[in-house]
Amino acid sequence: TDRKKLHTAPVGQVFRLRPFHLLVATGGGYAGYRKYEHYKVEQLEKRGIEVPVKLASEWEVALYKSVPTRLLSRAWGRLNQVELPTWLRKPVYSLYIWTFGVNMKEAAVEDLHHYRNLSEFFRRKLKPQARPVCCVHSVISPSDGKILNFGQVKNCEVEQVKGVTYSLESFLGPRISTEEMHFSQAPPGNSFQQQLVTKEGNELYHCVIYLAPGDYHCFHSPTDWTVSHRRHFPGSLMSVNPGVARWIKELFCHNERVVLTGDWKHGFFSLTAVGATNVGSIRIYFDQDLHTNSPSYSKGSYNDFSFISNNNKEGIPMRKGEHLGEFNLGSTIVLIFEAPKDFKFNLKAGQKIRFGEALGSL
C-alpha cells in the first residue's frame, strides 16, 4: 500500500514531434545543404568557371528564416563570454587561427593566454602601425574584408553581389526628417534616390565589404563626416557570406542592421553594419543606447535615435580612421554616399582589402 504509483505516457506521446521541432530540424538541414551547394559554386569560380545566378524562392527563404538564428546567436554570445582556463586558451585559439587564417603577428597582444574568453580574442586590437590610414584618398576602407560590389546606385537598386540587388529604400528605411539632417528639402515627386542627393551634379555610390570570421573585427570611420542619426532594424541573422548573398535577394534587408546616416563635405553619407549568424552583437562605441539582437525588439520594425539635440546641434563628428564599432566573428559593412560624378573607385570586385586602404577618391 506504500508503493508509489509509476505514471507512464503512451509511446506515441513520448516520440511525438512538435511542429516547431520539425520545422527547426528541416530548416537546419536545408541550410546545411545550401552551404554545401555554395561551397561547390565557390570551387567552380576559383577554377574560372562562371556560374549563373540562381535565386532562392520565397519558400526557401521562409524555410531558412525559420531557423532560430537570433536565439542561437544569443547563446553563442553568452558562450563567448565564458572565461576559459589558462591551459585551454592556446589550443582553442590556435584551432581558430588555423581554421580561418588569422595573422596574430598583427595583434597588439600576440600571447594567446592573454585573452580570457573567445569574445576578447575576436575583438583583439591591432598594433598601431599594422593598418596605416591612407591620407591621399578621400574614402578609405572602414574594415578588413572582401569587396563584394561597388559602383553607382541606379534606379533605387543596390547590388549586394553581381546580378543580385536590393531596394535602397527598404535597406535604409524611410527618409529621415530634414530637421534632423543638414540637407536641403527635396521635391516630393522625386524618387527616394534623388531625395538623398543634395547637390546638383552629384551621384549616389555604394560599396559592400564582407568581413570573414578570420578578419579584424573592428570597423572605423571611412572618411571625415558627421553622424546625425542612427536607425536600428531588428531582423533575421542569416549568413552573409558571398555564396548566400548571391542566392537570397535582398538578404541585407532581411537581416538585422544598424544604419548610421549623416553628411560629409560632398553631401549625404551612410555606413550600415549588417548582422549575420552568430553576429547578433553590433556595437557602436559612441552609442550606449544601442542593443542589438534583443528579444525585446520584434522583426519588421525599426527604431530611430537622433544625435542632434539642443545641446548638440551638429551630431557626432568622426575623423577618417577613428574607431567606430565592432562585430563578433564577421559580417558586412555597406557604404552608401553622395559624391561628384568624377568620383572613382580604386577597386576590383572580389579583392581583399584592409582597413585604412583607399576605396576611392575624386
Can you name the residues that pair with 283 across neighbouring β-strands?
A: 326
220 is annotated as an active-site residue: yes
Residue 301's Cβ-side half-sphere holds a number of Cα atoms within 13 Å equal to 10
Q: Which of 161, 286, 146, 169 is nearest to 233 (CA)?
A: 169
Residue 104: all three cell numbers together: 596574430
The distance from CA 229 to its chain's CA centroid, rounded to whole angstroms, is 18
Catalytic residue among 141, 143, 236, 331: 331
The 8-class DSSP code of residue 236 comes to B
Nearest CA to 280 out of 119, 122, 70, 81 is that of: 70
User: Of how many residues is the chain composed?
Assistant: 362
- DSSP notation for 208-266: EEEPPTTS--EEE-SSSEEEEEEEEE--B----SHHHHTTSTTHHHHB-EEEEEEEETT
Q: Is the dihedral of CA 39, 41, 42, 43 positive or negative?
A: positive
What's the longest Cα–Cα distance across the chain? 94
- d(C-alpha 293, C-alpha 271), whole Å: 19
- Grid cell digits, residue 40: 561547390
Cα separations in angstroms, 5 against 11, 12, 13: 18, 21, 19
Q: Which residues does residue 159 pair with via DSSP β-bridges, in sequence order?
A: 165
Q: Residue 60, exposed/middle/buried by CB under 10 A (0-12, 13-18, 19+)? A: middle
* Selected catalytic residue, list 138, 141, 144, 266: 144
> Of 38, 206, 217, 220, which residue is the catalytic one?
220
Do the beta carbons of residue 77 and residue 188 sit within 8 Å?
no
Residues annotated catalytic, as ranges: 144, 220, 331
